[in-house]
Amino acid sequence: MDKELYIIRHGETALNKHGIVQGRGINSDLNDTGREQAAAFYAMYKDLPFDKIYVSALKRTHQTVQQFTDAGIPTTQLSGLDELAWGEWEGQARSDESILVFRDLLEQWTSGNYDAKLNGGESPNEVAARLQEAVDEILSHPEEKLVLICMHGRAMRILLCMLSGKPFSEMADFPHQNTTLYRVSLTGKQFTITDFNNTDHLKV
């Protein structure tokens, strides 16, 4: 194995809790629950010898891994890891209209239209292009054997499809909660998901 990636979603924010749309355009803080989730993840994995941490440009990822960073693990921000932008729907509360709009969008993605996006937002193909740049940067450091990546739910689903060779129409196959962990090993050019939607740290 050449490299192992611990890929986690950020902790809960107030907008997560209240079902408000939150993408690349909203830079929210963790709430109390999110900080507790982050602390629980740190408590379970703090003894692993991470060589590097990568976070998105959004502070909810920085806050989720802050204890690791404070412990001295080098941390790099890559905007390519940002959440998918939901455009004009960001910051909007769940409504009958939004449910229909998002259902239609997800149906387009499931049917293979990966260029579909909301007004002012991003498509899966656009997110994948910047995710690939982030992955290329991470892989350009072979000396970093054990890597922690903190990112966002929808972008994480797209990334896991990319790494596992699945079409984006199957991104729903990668469920997630706040601070969910996916472990991915890299041997040669082959990525293998070795741990799937792991939330054991939240059960302690």
Predicted confidence pLDDT, tens digits, the chain (204 residues):
899 999 999 999 999 999 899 999 999 999 999 999 999 999 999 999 999 999 999 999 999 999 999 999 999 999 999 999 999 999 999 899 999 999 999 999 999 999 999 999 999 999 999 999 999 999 999 999 999 999 999 999 999 999 999 999 999 999 999 999 999 999 999 999 999 999 999 997
CA distance 70 to 13: 21
What global pTM score does this model have? 0.97
Q: 61 φ, ψ to 5°?
A: -75, -40
One-letter identity of residue 19: G
Print burial letters for 61-81: b (CB count within 10 Å at least 16), e (below 16).
Answer: bbbbbbbbeeeebebeebebb
Instruction: Find the radius of gyration of the CA atoms of the chain.
Output: 16
